[in-house]
A and B are shown apart, each in its own frame.
Chain A
Amino acid sequence: MEKPRIATASLAGCFGCHMSLLDIDDRILKLIELVEFDKSPVDDIKNFTGRCAIGLIEGGCCNEENVHVLKDFRKNCDILVSVGECAIMGGLPALRNGIPLKECLETAYINGTGVYNPSGRIPNSEDIPLLLNKVYPCHEIVKVDYFLPGCPPPADTIWEACVALLTNKPLDLPYELIKYD
């Protein structure tokens, strides 16, 4: 039987959740026995090569490209999981949500303390995806099936969740892995 495929993406995140995924240490060998990695920064596959069982999403959506990738994941994955605070709630990037976009960009590129930008312009090339008016959590853009809380979720949480999904067994996370106060 063909191994189920798994895909991952980091949208408006810091790659910390992916680092946490790698933190499963040698269990990654066991994971690749269980699954084949499809589109993911882990193997640098850029486009989906087939239907995936699971899509793990790190980060929320701060620009149009994020939205495009997220929708692509929804189309190609049976189960979509929001991994970590940014995917679930927008996280740190969403701190800008109370500030108008223009003000954000002007502070970042023109007026902010320590900014060196002799051109006085905000970068604007066709290669740069347009920012959204605010940062959206993933489930406000597509349907998300599961949420793994944490910043980042511990490796064990990601591991247990993936194993449970792949083996179709109930997930029994100890309290320590999901409490954050």
Chain B
Amino acid sequence: MKNLEKAVAKICAEYGNDRTRMMDIVRAVQVKFGGVDNEAIDLIAARTGTHRVEVESVVSFYAFLSQKPKGHVVIRLCNDVVDQMKGVQDVAKTLSTKLGIGFGETSSDGWFSLEWAPCIGMCDQAPAALVNDLMVTNLTTEKAAELIRALKANPNPGQLTAKFGLGEGNNAHELVQSSVQNNIKKTGEVLLGDVPAEAGLKKALQKSPEEVIAEVEASKLRGRGGAGFSTGLKWKFTRGAQGQDKYVLCNADEGEPGTFKDRVLLTERADLLFEGMTIGGYAIGAATGILYLRGEYNYLRPFLEDVLQKRRDARLLGADILGKAGFNFDIRIQMGAGAYICGEETSLISSCEGLRGDPKNRPPFPPQQGYLRKPTSVNNVETFCCVSRILDKGAAWFAAIGSGKSTGTKLLSISGDCKVPGVYEYPFGVKIRDLLQDVGAENTQALLIGGPSGQFIGAESFDKTICYDDLATGGAVVIFNKDRDMIHIAHQYMEFFVEESCGYCTPCRTGNVLIEKCLRKILDGQGEPEDIAYLQQLGNTVKKGSRCGLGQTSPNPALTTIKNFRAAYEAVLKPARDGMQPTFDLKAAVSDAEELAGRQSVSH
């Protein structure tokens, strides 16, 4: 009892008893005690001067937090569609058998918990699992058995890194020590080729902040996270907004299934990213930057903290940066805790403020009122990296790369049915057909461009190009060959959205469930022709009735497969004959009552 009280007091004090640091506080309690129970919630609320409901709402919201204690070792096996394609079910069976527990359960000795997790950013090396902070990739049943054997001998995942070998580049860094592979398969001239250190920042500091923004605007750089808003414009709004304190937030919560390019940038281009954030701070007049790092990438945190410290030591962060009097800027890392919705910028802001990852109403937009209601610019990891390069090489250089209104290069995370999955840096305007050839994809039926919130395209679109005006993407490209059942895949992605909806807007909370159920019904062979119109109508309602990007795009797996793979649906839909709903199962519906009454129903 006293132990808990002392520990909570210490943790809260570490974060200044500041309730806006709730994420850090509850994460720390979770790690120390395996859960944040009622007593801990009360203690935290008292220490931070808030109500217990505020603490509880945070604990209950995030997948990595729990009121019930979890095992010392939590194994989170990724059940993304790509992992399913690569045989994760067999791995799951092995893990479950070897541990003697099912998914969602904790072993009776309290040592192990087994859970499913949505995309953990390892689609190019799937199936993958997160074991506490240890990433284990390219799982096979043998490797899974070996993992459990090793964990049972030494239940400390941190000490198992050597067992699985080390990845290339900084994955082998002493502070990372991970078997994760970068799989950089194509380098371009902006991001993954050679980049000189701090060249952009030095040149930026010779300009006025307005000139920096003008340069970024002239480059026509658009947000790399997916929405594609003009970065220069966003910065101009933030700089021009009323208010003293301004903030630069970097969205490193890449959770869109099939995306993993930010992970590679964080591993190999951390300095370029922080350089870009610093330029952003200078441009908009901010003194504080926050890197919101998804909880799954916690294994990169010590490394990133070290990079930040080295930058402080080199006067690249802190007061009077690079001798520029009056330019003070520093960056802190805010860890996420397993919530896809936090990749949405206003949810990300909520999370940084120590709240549930609920989206906020717009307006006001973050450049007017964002983090702590102060003007805030939220940009993607890749966007900041591009900024550093633009300030170094000039807007004209950047604008000359790419196609039309889509300037520069784009990192694509490519996975699924192809020989060479990995990260590819292409100038905007690359044709799908060429891309498929580069990655060694054969017999391709479909591509998912931009993750499940994007769109499924078929062969008739293979001459289209990746760019904002044609096929826009935040970076995820998943390839499906002709053996894949598109309805099955759409259904799996709808299950993902059902799980990840924050629940605030009814159309999203309920509508996605109904869409998922209807797809399930079709998969069960009970689909009827009118289901297509139903799905379309429902999908459009969810899109129109949701306030954030999740609900506005979540019906896309159903809607875009209906649009582009209609034949797959029509092949399995049969008109109902008798006006009855095929999904209603009377026998199952009366089974409970039959057991209670001890007699059979007369109706079936």
- List the 5 closest A-B pairs by CB distance, nearest first: A130-B593, A132-B589, A64-B603, A74-B579, A101-B592
Nearest opposing residue in chain A for B603, CB measure: A64
| B591 in contact (CB, < 8 A) | yes
Report the Cα distance A74→B590, complex, angstroms: 21
Q: With an 8 A cutoff between CB atoms, is B594 at the interface?
A: yes
Q: Residue B108 at the A interface, CB < 8 A?
A: no
Among the listed A74, A75, A140, which residue makes an inter-chain contact with B583, where contact means beta carbons less than 8 Å apart? A140
Interface residue A51 (Cβ < 8 Å from any Cβ of B)? no
Query: Apart from A131-B590, A132-B589, what are 9 other A-B pairs with CB-CB below 8 Å?
Result: A67-B603, A75-B578, A75-B579, A80-B579, A131-B592, A133-B591, A136-B589, A140-B581, A141-B584
Q: Quote the shortest CB–CB distance from B509 to chain A (angstroms).
A: 15
B positions within 8 Å CB-CB of A: 576, 578-581, 583-584, 586, 588-594, 596-599, 601-603
Q: Within residues 129 to 154 of chain A, which ones have a CB less than 8 A from any CB in chain B?
A: 130-134, 136, 139-143
Q: Nearest CB to that of B593 among chain A residues?
A: A130
B584 in contact with A130 (CB, 8 Å): no
**Interchain CB contact (< 8 A) of B589 among A102, A122, A133, A142:** A133
Q: Is A68 an interface residue (CB 8 A)?
A: yes
| 11 interchain pairs, CB-CB under 8 A | A74-B580, A101-B593, A102-B592, A102-B596, A122-B596, A131-B592, A133-B592, A140-B581, A142-B579, A142-B581, A143-B581
Question: Which parts of A61-105 form the interface with B (CB within 8 Å)?
Answer: 64, 67-68, 71, 74-75, 80, 100-102, 105
A124 at interface by CB-CB < 8 Å? yes
Judged by DSSP, the binding face of B is loop
CB-CB nearest in chain A for B586: A67
Q: How far is the CB of A172 from chain B (nearest CB, A)?
A: 21
Q: Is there an interface contact between A132 and B580, defined as CB atoms closer than 8 Å?
A: no
- CB distance B601 to A130 under 8 Å? yes
Task: Please tell me the number of chain A residues within 8 Å of chain B, measured between CB atoms.
Answer: 25
- Contact (Cβ within 8 A) A130 B580: no
Q: Which A residues lie within 8 Å of B584 (CB)?
A: 67, 136, 140-141
How far apart are the CA atoms of A140 and B580 in the complex, in Å?
A: 9
Q: Do A64 and B601 contact each other (CB < 8 Å), given the known contacts A105-B596, A130-B593, A142-B581? A: yes
Are B580 and A142 interface neighbours, CB within 8 A? yes
User: Looking across the interface, which residue of chain A has its beta carbon closest to that of B588?
Assistant: A133
Contact of B590 (CB < 8 Å), options: A130, A139, A141, A143: A130
A130 vs B593: C-alpha distance when bound (angstroms): 6
Which residues in A have their C-beta under 8 angstroms from that of B593? 101, 130-133
The answer to whether B594 touches A130, judged by C-beta atoms less than 8 angstroms apart, is: yes
How far, in Å, is A164 (CB) from chain B's closest CB? 21
Q: In the complex, A64→B591 CA distance in Å?
A: 11
Interface pair A68/B596, CB less than 8 Å apart: no
Asked if B590 and A132 sit within 8 Å, CB to CB, the answer is yes
Q: Which residues of A contact B596 (CB under 8 A)?
A: 101-102, 105, 122
